[in-house]
Amino acid sequence: MAGHAHDHAHDDHLDGEEDFHVSYKGYAIGFILSVVLTAIPFWLVMAKVLPSPKLTGFVILGFAAVQMVVHMIYFLHMNAKVEQGWSMLALLFTAALVVIMLSGSVWVMYHMNANMMPTPDPAAMRNMP
């Protein structure tokens, strides 16, 4: 019984972070994944593996997103258990704000380009009011 009480007393200071361990193995796995996730897009660009630059750009953005997740998990040690999930909630809120800001900026710039740029024809520009 005394050992059982000791186990509970020892676990109280963890506050829900039982599975959170920092180790060299975790850093090594993160480093290897980061190198692989950098080398593959580099190879895609240098060898011109994909048929179009647009497709290559989208694939590289996908690899970048995966690499961000790898960095958050293996180097920043973010998961749903750390700080009772508040760090993950803050990350999701930040990601939502970034998506809103980027999509809004692209939308505004596209419409400004489409609606405010003069025509490229010099004769048509001379006849403009």
Burial 12-22 (b: 16+ CB within 10 A, else e): eeeeeeeeeee
Distance CA 42, CA 47 (A): 8
Instruction: Say if residue 32 is in the same domain as residue 61.
Output: yes
Tens of pLDDT, residues 20-59: 567 899 899 999 999 999 999 999 999 999 999 999 999 9
pTM comes to 0.58
Which residue in 78, 60, 71 sits closest to 33, CA to CA?
A: 71
Q: How many domains does the chain have?
A: 2
Residue 11 pLDDT > 60, yes or no? Answer: no
The most confident of 1-5, 37-41, 122-126, by mean pLDDT = 37-41
55 with 69, same domain? yes
Question: Is 7 within the bounds of a domain?
Answer: no
Q: Do 43 and 55 share a structural domain? A: yes
Say whether both 33 and 64 belong to one domain: yes
Looking at the fold, whether 84 and 72 belong to one and the same domain comes out as no
The answer to whether position 49 is within a domain reads yes
Helices 24-46 and 53-74 meet at what angle, rounded to 10? 170
Q: Do 64 and 84 have their domain in common?
A: no
> 3-state class of 75 per DSSP?
coil
pLDDT digits (tens, 9 = 90+) for 60-85: 999 998 998 899 889 888 877 777 77
Q: Say how far apart CA 55 and CA 52 lie, in whole Å.
A: 5
Lowest mean pLDDT among 3-12, 16-25, 64-73, 100-109: 3-12
pLDDT of residue 13 exceeding 50, the answer is no
Range of the domain at 63: 22-77
Looking at the fold, whether 62 and 97 belong to one and the same domain comes out as: no
